[in-house]
Amino acid sequence: MARVDTTVRQGPVQPLPGHTGLKRFSAHRFCRRRRPGTGRRGNRGFVVTLGRVIDSHLHVVDFLQHPIEPGAVTSALAAEDVERLVVFGVPVKKKWGMTEPERPTYYLDDNAPCATYSLTDQLVAELVLALDPRSRERVAPLICGFDPTDQLAADHVDLMTSRHDVWRGIGEIFLRHDDLTELTYGENARAGHPALDGILEICAARGWPLTFHQDASSAGRSGQREYVGEVVAMLGRHPDVPQVWAHAGVSRRVRPGQHAALLGELMDRHANLHVDLSWVLFDSVVVEGEATTSWVELVARRPDRFVVGSDAFGSVAEQPESLVRWRALTDRLTPAARRMVEHDNAVRLWW
């Protein structure tokens, strides 16, 4: 692979033609009080308030592959805050090893490995098909239950599409993913792996986006961009496929330096790059309750490239607060830019 230049070039952030996307800072916080009797209360006593947001990142199973009940999905859709959901399973299942004294619930709970779990897509399909027709129209299920290093992975996607006519894309696939990479059986998955070409060709043929998790670097080189070149290669090989970089490559122990500037350059060069605002990326974007200037300027300049997700796992209990916290960022945007990030971009990508 040719060496990719990921050097950040300093310079002013320019808006899209005719659109600044940036609103003068307002002192109100991302959790705002509402009239008595409306909204939902968060852990800190605030009333959790959203507009009509699309949750673009919801795992409807956990790492043991226990699915959410259909009624929980219906309840989430019945709330005034969330208009639609982009849902998927988890592509691996955690093993309870004989040497581990306690039953795990998360991949980091012990040293036992994880393995690819194709049945996750069947669980997602059954959940979606159990919804009433109106709710089903507001849910976009994605396929993820395949080994990203397997050259036969495309066969699994073909099988799922032949069994169920519900799918809207691929994701979230796990590529380089902190400790999970080392805990997963088999070859290490990575962006740009030749086995993914067949998956991306299916996406191109069907007009589907791909959502992927790929750390920007390793935990040992947290502030660097060790693996960004692999993402760049995948974007370049498949320019017609919208590719949604989950958490923008930021992970639990991966915090690349000047990351907003790098993302801006990558978006300038690759019209198919999108970013999913979710999980621990929040801690890089929002510091002490306020969105950092570099991220506000980036999203304001490229409001058509971002979506918001809760990254909830196997439950919707924490979904509202996982979404509402991003208002620290989106409240700094113009109304038009905010609507793109919270709603319109997801419609364009998955509906």
- The CA-atom distances, in angstroms, between 4 and each of 98, 188, 192, 217, 267 are 44, 21, 13, 14, 15
Site of tokens 């299916």: 202
Cβ–Cβ under 8 Å, residues 168 and 86: yes
Measured distance CA(292)–CA(285) in Å, rounded: 6
**Environment class of 321 (CB within 10 Å of its CB; exposed 0-12, middle 13-18, buried 19+):** middle
Q: Does 13 map to a domain?
A: no
**Distances from the Cα of 91 to the Cα of 117, 124, 166, 328, 329, angstroms:** 6, 11, 18, 31, 30
Cα 214 to the chain's mean position, in Å? 11
Q: Is residue 5 part of a domain?
A: no
pTM (two decimals): 0.86
Number of domains the chain contains: 1
CA-to-CA distance for 51 and 62, rounded, in angstroms? Answer: 27
Residue 24 forms part of a structural domain: no
Quickly tell me which residue has 């002490």 as its tokens: 288
How many other CB atoms sit within 10 Å of the CB of residue 14?
11
- Does residue 44 contact residue 318 with C-beta atoms inside 8 Å? no
Q: Do 343 and 332 meet the contact criterion of CB atoms below 8 Å apart?
A: no
Q: In this structure, are strands 210-213 and 114-116 parallel, antiparallel, or unpaired?
A: unpaired
Residue range(s) defining the domain that contains residue 77: 51-350
User: Could you give the 3-state DSSP secondary structure of residue 114?
Assistant: strand
Q: Does a structural domain hold residue 2?
A: no
Residue 179 within a domain: yes
pLDDT on residue 21: 60
Cβ partners under 8 Å of residue 199, min gap 6 = 146, 148, 153, 154, 157, 170, 173, 210
pLDDT in the model for residue 16:
44
| Structural domain includes residue 45 | no
Backbone angles phi, psi at 344, to 5 degrees: -65, -35
Residue 297 is part of a domain; what is its CATH number?
3.20.20.140
Tens of pLDDT along the chain (351 residues) come to: 444 454 444 344 344 444 456 554 333 333 333 333 333 333 333 344 456 899 999 999 999 999 999 999 999 998 878 999 999 999 999 999 999 999 999 999 999 999 999 999 999 999 999 999 999 999 999 999 999 999 999 999 999 999 999 999 999 999 999 999 889 999 999 999 999 999 999 999 999 999 999 998 777 787 778 899 999 999 999 999 999 999 999 988 767 878 999 999 999 999 999 999 999 999 999 999 999 999 999 999 999 999 999 999 999 999 999 999 999 999 999 999 999 999 999 999 999
Is 41 a member of any domain?
no
Displacement of CA 299 from its chain's centroid (Å): 16
- The answer to whether residue 159 is domain-embedded is yes
Alpha helices in 52-165 (DSSP H): 70-78, 119-129, 133-137, 153-163
Give the three-class secondary structure for 73: helix
Of the candidates 109, 56, 52, 107, the residue with the CA atom closest to the CA atom of residue 81: 52
Whether 274 and 244 have beta carbons less than 8 Å apart is answered as yes
Nearest to 264, CA basis, from 16, 32, 89, 87 = 16
| Alpha-carbon gap, residue 38 to 147, rounded angstroms | 45
Q: Rounded to an integer, what distance in angstroms lies between the CA atom of residue 173 and that of residue 189?
A: 9
Query: What are the backbone angles phi and psi of residue 333, rounded to the nearest 5°?
Result: -100, 165
What number of other Cβ atoms are within 10 A of residue 289's Cβ?
Answer: 10
Tell me which DSSP letter residue 66 carries.
P
CA 325 remoteness from chain centre: 15
